[in-house]
Structure 1
Amino acid sequence: MNIVYSRDGTAIAYDKIGSGFPLILVDGALCSRTNGPNGPLAILLQQYFAVITYDRRGRGDSGDTKPYEIERGVEDLSALIEEAGGSAFVYGISSGAALALEAAKRLPSIRKLALYEAPFVVDNTRAPVPVAYLEQMEGHLSNERRGAAVKQFMRKGVGLPAFVVAMMPLMPAWKKLKSVAHTLPYDTILTVEHQRGTASTLSRWSSVTVPVLVGVGGKSPAWMRNAMQSLARSLPSARLQTLEGQTHIIKPSAITPVLKRFFEEATIV
């Protein structure tokens, strides 16, 4: 484990494996460098790139200076890029894709960007996230109802069926999910304005001109596929790629060749 310090002094824990041009992997909600899809993905990608996985603030071994703002997450990524040599490729999954987009909007040090299934809701193919979603989430957490916060995220944010959410406390991973529940508002702040059922808010990132790959699973629900199509259209230099047979829980072996191909097309200046 290594430590880099963000602009506000927060310690950000990271691991680096492999060699080559730096590639930073950004986790989605409730995941960390030791718990989630990016750890196994890094192992597969290390033969092509110097792969960095890190604990987003508030998770794992990273610090959690309050209050959280989107800019803090961008500054964390900026510190990692500087530590890696001053420029990098970035891959973000789920809410990590939203953070990566924000970073690419502000950081010219990001040379190329790959995104997988940012959880946006741009039409009526699923219910939008409730207006009071963030306030309800913060209410659960302020009253130490971590389990309720996770359930709200899974039911109203992810859109899982009620019976699935009801069974989650019986899962072995439930304790780990609750341990990072306090970071769910951070993911919500990143995404909630783009989960209201309209695509117009995606113009926020129209200034992101670096090459972008927008990935979506062929077996993912219509609302997700529609959202990623809209996102790709809203970015000046983006292309959409559907990974057949995949869902939001993307298999590392499925996306590794896609990322390799995309990032190796880049011209390093």
Structure 2
Amino acid sequence: MRTITSTDGTTIAYEQTGSGPAIIVVSNVAEDHAAVAGLVTALAKDFTVISFDRRGRGASGDPQPYDPAREIEDISALIDVLGGTAALAGGSGACGLALDAASALGDKVSGLYLYEPPFIVDGSRPPVPADSVEHLEALVAAGKRSEASEYFMTEVVGVPAEYLPMMKADPSWEQMAAYAHTYSYELQIWRGLQDGKPLPTDRWAIDAPIAVAVGGNGEAFMRTGAEALAAILPNVTVLTLADHDHGAFWAAPDPVAEQARTFLLG
């Protein structure tokens, strides 16, 4: 791992691999850069790729209070490492940060590949509870990290409660609990995007080309959200990754990388 110092003095740890046009892979909530290693390897055949530990994860710092704007500064500093321009790729929750960064950083972001951003723009599934940030922060402050993970999975992601025993038996649950403080971080980024209402028309101004991919086996509300984004931004292409679901960004890196490569490199 290499490190950079972000604008506010925070250490951000990252890995760089491959050669070619620059791309940064943004990891999801409750995971560090290792979670996207498969996709990084697949993209590195054609790109210079950076993956990094977002604030509060892995070897990166976590000064308080948390502010989503600092994560945009982290991405800006990583783009500078790559020469001043880079594409961004993210799956699920990471798409919110990628969109905010692209809007704030302008020409520094050359393109976006987003896989199944979980927008909730109508009544097709329950919205995220309005007090979820405060509830999660209270659980973490009380040392109830596993309970915070349970709440996030059931009330935010929508995982049926009967699946929790199987999830908790998997070794990955321990890391999720260790990173439980990042649930509230992610939901601060996603405020206004998961409440069952239309996407805000004044949040993003992005001229770079954007691919929003949805799995052919994914949930219908994901496609509805992708089409909603295409309706408010000028250069959005909605793609389908046939025969895959929400986990493809992590479990099927080769077809995801091929789709991103085709879009971003033409």
TM-score (norm 2): 0.95
SS in 2 for 1:30: coil
Q: Determine if contact 1:88/1:112 at 8 Å carries over to the other structure.
A: yes
Post-superposition CA distance 1:18-37 (Å, at most 9, x none):
01121100011112111x2x
Unmatched segments (≥5 aa) in structure 2: none
Aligned to 2:133: 134
Task: Indicate whether 1:39 and 2:37 are aligned.
Answer: yes
Aligned to 2:225: 227
Give the Å deviation of 1:202: 5.4
Give the Å deviation of 1:184: 1.1
Aligned to 2:160: 161
Post-superposition CA distance 1:180-228 (Å, at most 9, x none):
11111111111132111012325522x1111111111111111112111
SS in 2 for 1:239: strand
**Distance in 1 (alpha carbons) for counterparts of 2:216 and 2:223:** 8
Give the Å deviation of 1:117: 1.3
Aligned to 1:179: 178
Task: Indicate whether 1:91 and 2:92 are aligned.
Answer: no
SS in 1 for 2:190: helix
Q: Please list, as runs of the form range in 1=range in 2, the aligned pairs for 1:95-134 lying within 5 A after superposition.
A: 95-108=93-106, 109-134=108-133
**Distance in 2 (alpha carbons) for counterparts of 1:238 and 1:228:** 9
Aligned partner letter, 2:254: S
Aligned partner letter, 1:71: A
Give the Å deviation of 1:59: 0.3
**Residues 239/203 of structure 1: CA separation in 2 closer, same or farther (3 Å cut):** farther
Q: Determine if contact 1:2/1:14 at 8 Å carries over to the other structure.
A: yes
Post-superposition CA distance 1:48-72 (Å, at most 9, x none):
0101100001001111111111111
Over 6 Å off, 4+ runs: none
TM-score (norm 1): 0.94
Give the Å deviation of 1:45: 1.1
Aligned partner letter, 1:20: G
Post-superposition CA distance 1:157-184 (Å, at most 9, x none):
1111111124322112111111111111
Aligned to 2:246: 248
SS in 2 for 1:31: coil
SS in 2 for 1:229: helix
- Percent of aligned pairs with the same amino acid: 37
Unmatched segments (≥5 aa) in structure 1: none
Give the Å deviation of 1:100: 0.5
**Distance in 2 (alpha carbons) for counterparts of 1:92 and 1:215:** 11
SS in 2 for 1:107: helix
**Distance in 2 (alpha carbons) for counterparts of 1:149 and 1:120:** 21
Aligned partner letter, 1:104: A
Higher mean displacement: 187-196 or 72-81:
187-196
Q: Determine if contact 1:194/1:202 at 8 Å carries over to the other structure.
A: no
Aligned partner letter, 2:94: G
Aligned to 1:9: 9
Higher mean displacement: 209-218 or 168-177:
168-177
Q: Determine if contact 2:95/2:117 at 8 Å carries over to the other structure.
A: yes
Task: Indicate whether 1:59 and 2:57 are aligned.
Answer: yes
Aligned to 2:46: 48
**Distance in 1 (alpha carbons) for counterparts of 2:245 and 2:157:** 13
Post-superposition CA distance 1:78-103 (Å, at most 9, x none):
01001111111111111111000000
Q: Determine if contact 2:216/2:245 at 8 Å carries over to the other structure.
A: yes
Aligned partner letter, 1:150: S
